[in-house]
């Protein structure tokens, strides 16, 4: 989003002095990779052979032992999923994968966020009990579910936790836990999403079944688990985890399956309703087109609808559900727009939009806000004020729920942990990651929490550079502003969180400018004294009318490929604008 009047500093990414030649890439691509810490061609290898062993994950041997027993004795298994895209894809991977490996009875439960909240709570256990399972498997949740695990164990249900969220000081008394962020875990990537953790569990389980001759005994073909990687790619990108070398392999392989026509019907339907081309889909499409539509089920209604879309093998049913998800996403956009306007009015009343009066941490609450949209709202406001933001909405019974989004340099879950340590009775529960977290508290404790949050944030921000920056990979020549180079960028790597897609900057003369879709700015640009004329677009521009009629701008942009009626052309996807003349 481009905000009117928000000044950012465009900084060229530093290149390490120690240069290691990367073969088969241009000097510009080599510079881009070096700026992201890549020092050898091996780090760009995205073949499945580069994935580390699943047995490096602590607890895997115990986990697989329980799953072997469950499969061989045909125990009933219930999957308990989170209500976001990572949870939904984790659930799909668990259900499909266990069935492929020979599990007989696999069901799932996904908590309705408006009734039950997050995680394996005693209330969710009571719901799961109706399925009469022998084994309960959590996906993308459970690491903080002390009471829920106890409730399940008291009912005689075996509990297996797969999660990636950061553990607290106490672990639940589950029968097995696999989480790459457990203390002293030897797995080389703590960045696995929940769906990646479940995929790794299945890989370990398959290898043990193979060793024991299970597939020969049952006269079934050993399944190729790579068929689940389209789910893994979607959940990994949608959960905005770091695309380290492990996740880049998982996402790339999933994208390759989709591009080659081997994606599941539900994903193909989501691609269709979002107007993307499956043959040329990229990671950012998963994050900005498919992820929001899948997430809309959990935000606005019930994520069970999204999971049904992923699991169905019927293309017609998948299309029908995808259309429903698209409609829910449109509803979410309308609600978000209204909440954003109300939030900006609150900020204006608080004088927060004046940088001299910015608090260290921003807390916002409105009694009419939608609980399912506060995370997106917090992200929007965080981008506007460049401070950690928590947006709250009512959750019933004098309780409110908050969703936090942070800025680089501030680990938001650690901030909440510090608040809880200093004020033990303020937070009912909390959890999350470095950049995003959730929490619950009593309505009457909101003023005290807002003050405590701001106090902790003042200490945290003391050593943080708060100047907003756009990191650029430099200026492109006219020859590099080409479809050929844009395609080479798309194919060179799997770009995403903490392995960012290249951004470039430059000064351009404005040949034409107009508003499209009410909030988007369509431009025709030319480099000064140059000959090349190129299209550009900036999405969701704040006060777009103020950018009309300019003669010259400075822009930070990504190279994008626009497809229209079978024609492909390069365009600039503008991330930031400055008025020059």
Domain range summary for the chain, segments of one domain joined by + = 9-35+473-579, 52-326, 350-461
What is the DSSP pairing of strand 76-81 with strand 362-365? unpaired
Distance of CA 382 to the CA centre of its chain: 16
Q: Examine domains 9-35+473-579 and 350-461 and report if their fold is the same.
A: no
Q: Mean per-residue pLDDT for 457-465?
A: 90
Q: What is the pLDDT of residue 384?
A: 86
Mean predicted confidence (pLDDT) in 485-510: 94
Distance CA 425, CA 419 (A): 10
179's tokens? 């989480």
Q: Which two tokens stand for residue 409?
A: 């340099």
| Residue bearing tokens 């409609």 | 327
Tell me the sheet residues that pair with 559. Answer: 572
Look at residue 153 and tell me whether its pLDDT is greater than 60.
yes
Threshold 0.85, pTM exceeds: yes
103 DSSP 8-state letter: -
CB 437 within 8 A of CB 419: no
**pLDDT at residue 7 in the model:** 82
CATH number of 52-326: 3.90.1640.30
Residue 352: band (very low, low, confident or very high) from pLDDT cuts 50, 70, 90: low
pLDDT value of position 268: 97
Q: What CATH topology corresponds to 9-35+473-579?
A: OB fold (Dihydrolipoamide Acetyltransferase, E2P) (2.40.50)
Per the CB < 8 A criterion, the answer to whether 326 and 289 are in contact is: no
Contact 365, 393 (CB under 8 A): yes
Per-residue pLDDT band at 235 (split at 50, 70, 90): very high
Q: Which helix (H) or strand (E) holds 31?
A: helix 27-35
CA–chain centroid gap for 329, Å, is 16
327 vs 340: CA distance, rounded Å:
20
**CATH fold of 350-461, please?**
Diaminopimelate Epimerase; Chain A, domain 1 (3.10.310)
Q: Which pair of structure tokens corresponds to residue 309?
A: 């879309």
Q: Interhelix angle for 304-311 vs 85-100, to 10°?
A: 40
281 pLDDT higher than 70: yes
Find residue 80's DSSP bridge partners: 109, 138
φ, ψ of residue 377 in degrees (nearest 5): -60, -45
Statement: residue 5 has pLDDT above 60: no
The size of the chain, in residues, is 581
Least confident of 94-103, 113-122, 469-478: 113-122
For residue 440, what are the contacts with CB-CB under 8 A and spacing of at least 6? 117, 395, 399, 400, 401, 402, 427, 428, 429, 430
Tell me the longest C-alpha to C-alpha distance in the chain: 76
- Is 70 exceeded by the pLDDT of residue 3? no
| CB-based contact 256:236 (threshold 8 Å) | no
Q: What is d(CA 104, CA 42) in angstroms, rounded to the nearest whole number?
A: 41
pLDDT at 346: 87
Q: Answer with the residue of higher pLDDT: 337 or 119.
A: 337
Q: Which helix (H) or strand (E) holds 154?
A: helix 146-154
User: pLDDT digit string (tens) for 395-432?
Assistant: 988 999 999 999 988 999 999 999 999 999 899 888 87
- CA distances to 120, 228, 309, 376 from 134, in Å: 16, 25, 26, 37
User: Would you state the pLDDT for residue 359?
Assistant: 83
- The two structure tokens encoding residue 223: 């399944």
For 53, the 3-state DSSP assignment is coil
Q: Quick one: pLDDT band at residue 357, thresholds 50, 70, 90?
A: low
Q: Crossing angle, helix 304-311 and helix 265-273, to 10 degrees?
A: 110
Angle between the N-to-C axes of helices 27-35 and 483-492, in degrees from 0 to 180, rounded to the nearest 10: 40
% of the chain with per-residue pLDDT over 70? 97
DSSP state at residue 289: I
Res 439: pLDDT = 92
Which of 276, 272, 303, 301 lies closest to 288 in space, CA to CA? 276
Specify the range with the lowest mean pLDDT, choosing from 21-30, 142-151, 210-219, 240-249: 21-30
């Amino acid at each position: 989003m481009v905000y009117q009047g928000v000044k950012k500093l465009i900084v060229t990414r530093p290149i390490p002095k120690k240069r290691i030649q990367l073969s088969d890439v241009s000097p510009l691509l080599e510079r881009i990779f070096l700026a992201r810490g890549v020092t050898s061609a091996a780090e760009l290898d995205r073949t499945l052979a580069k994935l580390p062993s699943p047995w490096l994950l602590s607890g895997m041997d115990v986990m697989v032992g329980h799953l072997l027993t469950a499969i061989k004795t045909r125990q009933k298994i219930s999957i308990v999923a989170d209500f976001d895209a990572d949870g939904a894809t984790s659930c799909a991977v668990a259900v499909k994968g266990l069935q492929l490996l020979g599990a007989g009875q696999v069901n799932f439960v996904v908590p309705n966020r408006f009734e039950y909240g997050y995680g394996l709570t005693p209330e969710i256990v009571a719901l799961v009990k109706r399925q009469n399972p022998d084994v309960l498997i959590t996906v993308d949740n459970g690491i903080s579910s002390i009471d829920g695990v106890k409730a399940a164990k008291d009912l005689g249900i075996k509990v297996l936790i797969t999660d990636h969220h950061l553990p607290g000081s106490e672990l639940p008394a589950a029968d097995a836990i696999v989480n790459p962020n457990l203390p002293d875990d030897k797995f080389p990537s703590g960045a696995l999403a929940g769906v990646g953790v479940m995929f790794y569990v299945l890989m370990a389980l398959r290898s043990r079944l193979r060793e024991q001759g299970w597939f020969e005994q049952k006269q079934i073909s050993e399944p190729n688990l790579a068929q689940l990687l389209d789910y893994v790619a979607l959940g990994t990108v949608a959960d905005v985890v770091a695309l380290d070398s492990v996740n880049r392999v998982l996402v790339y392989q999933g994208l390759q399956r989709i591009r080659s026509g081997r994606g599941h019907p539900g994903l193909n339907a989501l691609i269709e309703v979002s107007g993307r081309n499956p043959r040329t889909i990229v990671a950012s499409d998963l994050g900005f087109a498919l992820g929001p539509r899948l997430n809309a089920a959990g935000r606005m209604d019930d994520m069970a609808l999204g999971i049904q879309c992923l699991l169905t093998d019927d293309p017609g049913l998948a299309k029908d559900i995808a259309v429903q998800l698209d409609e829910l996403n449109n509803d979410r956009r309308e609600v978000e727009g209204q909440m954003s306007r109300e939030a900006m009015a609150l900020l204006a009343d608080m004088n927060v939009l004046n940088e001299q009066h910015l608090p260290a941490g921003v807390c916002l609450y409105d009694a009419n806000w939608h609980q399912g949209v506060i995370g997106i709202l917090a992200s929007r406001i965080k981008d506007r004020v460049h401070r950690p933001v928590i947006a709250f909405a009512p959750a019933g019974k004098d309780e409110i729920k908050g969703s936090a989004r942070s800025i680089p340099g501030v680990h938001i879950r650690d901030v909440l942990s510090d608040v809880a340590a200093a004020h033990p009775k303020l937070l009912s529960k909390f959890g999350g990651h470095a950049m995003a977290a959730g929490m619950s508290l009593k309505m009457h404790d909101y003023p005290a929490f807002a003050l405590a949050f701001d106090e902790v944030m003042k200490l945290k921000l003391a050593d943080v550079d708060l100047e907003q920056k756009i990191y650029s990979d430099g200026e492109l020549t006219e020859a590099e502003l080409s479809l050929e180079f844009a395609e080479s960028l798309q194919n060179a790597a799997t770009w995403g969180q903490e392995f960012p897609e290249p951004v470039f900057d430059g000064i351009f003369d404005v040949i034409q400018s107009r508003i499209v879709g009410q909030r988007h700015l369509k431009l025709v640009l030319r480099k000064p004294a140059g000959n090349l004329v190129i299209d550009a677009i900036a999405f969701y521009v704040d006060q777009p009318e103020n950018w009309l009629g300019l003669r010259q701008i400075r822009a930070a942009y990504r190279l994008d490929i626009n497809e229209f009626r079978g024609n492909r052309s390069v365009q600039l996807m503008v991330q930031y604008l400055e008025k020059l003349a």
